[in-house]
Amino acid sequence: MAIDPQHLLNYPIPQVRQTLTEKDTAFYALSVGLGMDPLDEKQLRFVDSARDFRALPSIVVVLGHPGFWVAREDTGIDAVRVVHGEQRIEWHKPLPVAGEVVGETRVTGVVDKGNNALMYSEKELRDGNGELLATAGMTTVLRGQGGFGGDSEPLHAVHTLPDSEPDISVDLPTRAEQALYYRLNGDDNPLHSNPATAEAAGYPRPILHGLCTLGVVFHALFRELVDYREDRLKALSLRFSSPVFPGETIRTEIWRDGSFRARVVERDVVVVNNGKLDFV
């Protein structure tokens, strides 16, 4: 059943005011795999508030998060069939480890791809004083809900990876229960926790959140390209190409210019593609 694009463009996604605690900040970093090496001092800065505590910059994707709003009946979206297609982040200011943050999310575009539709949304994340901290954009694939006769051109160009072999390869494991931890960041889509929901969506078992995969991949980039220095980050973009099952190993393949992709080692399947980290 086709969606109504004008309805989605005008849909009132609730503003989210969140009281961020140091515990929340540490939990996010732990939920995407930091701290697996408990002797790595650079990782410990993001999980231990007794140190020079910092927020892992990819936490932007869960702060001020409006929840699984697409599942509301009045959206007209078949929530069981939605897929997270792309993610973008732009950092504007250093992120707090605690305090009030405010997320304002809106739908910015809807594209008709025939059988499917692409829905673009953007979240502005601000601190309690109204200062813009970061902007996070995502593309959601609405499977089987195209055909409404709208514009078919994507709103964002896809980054083209270099023709050469990657310069760096980083393997990071995920845990079998990782999706059950990650959902406590506020993403409670049952696709990641309920076997029956996963089966209804065509998967043999619950899959890892795309944004958890992003966190694992971001860790590899953060370590290898900027040595855990958040002040060097500008922007990130990527496309999700296949799901990860919790417990699999994610291999991030990186070029020195910030281009990247990622694959699951056990199945040799590319799960993140067309990635680019902009940094100084």
With a CB cutoff of 8 Å and minimum separation 6, the contacts of 57 are 89, 91, 95, 218, 222, 230, 233
pLDDT tens figures, 149-169: 988 999 999 999 999 999 999
Alpha helices of the chain — where are they, by DSSP H?
5-9, 22-31, 41-44, 178-182, 195-200, 210-226
How many whole angstroms separate alpha carbon 218 and alpha carbon 130? 27
Q: Which residue has the tokens 């696709």?
A: 191
Residues 6+ apart with CB under 8 A from 39: none
* 203 C-beta neighbours (distance < 10 Å), count: 14
The per-residue pLDDT for 81 is 87
**Rounded to an integer, what distance in angstroms lies between the CA atom of residue 168 and that of residue 220?**
10
Instruction: Report pTM.
Output: 0.95
Residue numbers annotated as active site? 187, 192, 207, 210
φ, ψ of residue 127 to 5 degrees: the values are: -85, 180
Distances (CA, A) of 231 to 85, 126, 254: 28, 18, 20
pLDDT at res. 51: 87
The class level of CATH for 5-279 reads alpha beta
* pLDDT mean for each 10 residues of the chain (280 residues): 93 97 98 95 95 96 94 93 94 98 98 96 97 98 94 92 98 98 91 93 94 98 98 98 98 98 98 98
Computed over every residue of the chain, the mean pLDDT equals 96
* Residue 188: per-residue pLDDT: 83
Report yes or no: 273 and 241 within 8 Å, Cβ to Cβ.
yes
Question: Which runs of E-coded beta strand occur in the chain?
Answer: 16-20, 82-91, 99-112, 117-127, 132-142, 168-173, 233-240, 249-254, 259-264, 269-279
Say how far apart CA 82 and CA 121 lie, in whole Å.
14
Q: Which two tokens stand for residue 47?
A: 């999980």
Order of strands across the sheet with 168-173? 16-20, 99-112, 117-127, 132-142, 82-91, 233-240, 269-279, 259-264, 249-254, 168-173
Give the per-residue pLDDT at 271. 98
- What confidence score (pLDDT) does residue 102 get? 98
